[in-house]
Amino acid sequence: MLLLGLTGSIATGKSTVSSLLSKPPYSLPIIDADLIARQVVEPGTAGYNAIVKYFSPTTPDLLLPDATPKGQPLNRPALGRRVFGGGEEKERDRKMLNSIVHPAVRKEMYRQMVWAYLKGNWAVVLDVPLLFESGWERYCGTILVVGVTDPSIQINRLRSRDAHLTEEDARNRVMSQGDVREKAERCLRRGPGRGVVVWNDHDRSHLEKEIQTVMQDVRGRTPSWWTFLCWVCPPLGALAGLASWYRMRKVQLQWESEKKREKAKL
**Cα angle vertex 127, ends 94, 131, to 5°?**
50
Q: How far apart are CA 204 and CA 184, in angstroms?
A: 20
Q: Go through the domains of the chain in sequence order and give each one's CATH number.
A: 1-29+121-266 (3.40.50.300), 43-118 (no CATH)
Residue 80 has pLDDT above 90, yes or no: no
Work out the pLDDT band at 89, boundaries 50, 70, 90: confident
d(CA 226, CA 257): 34
∠ Cα 153 144 209 (to 5°) = 70
Quick check: helix, strand or coil at residue 138?
A: helix
How confident is the model over 190-224, as pLDDT tens digits? Answer: 999 999 999 999 999 999 999 999 999 999 998 88
The confidence score (pLDDT) of residue 130 equals 85
Phi, psi of 3 (to 5 degrees): -90, 110
Average pLDDT in the chain: 91
Q: What DSSP designation does 136 have? A: G
pLDDT of residue 139: 94
pLDDT given for residue 165 in this prediction? 86
pTM of the model: 0.83
103-120 pLDDT, tens per residue? 989 999 999 999 999 999
pLDDT of residue 163: 83
Assess whether pLDDT exceeds 80 at residue 247: yes
Q: Are 180 and 12 spatial neighbours (Cβ–Cβ below 8 Å)?
A: yes
Residue 124 forms beta bridges with which residues?
Answer: 3
Identify residue 230 by its one-letter amino acid code.
C
**β pairing state of 30-32 and 142-147:** unpaired
Categorize the per-residue pLDDT at 71 as very low, low, confident or very high, splitting at 50, 70 and 90.
confident
Q: What are the residue ranges of helices labelled H in 162-202?
A: 167-176, 180-188
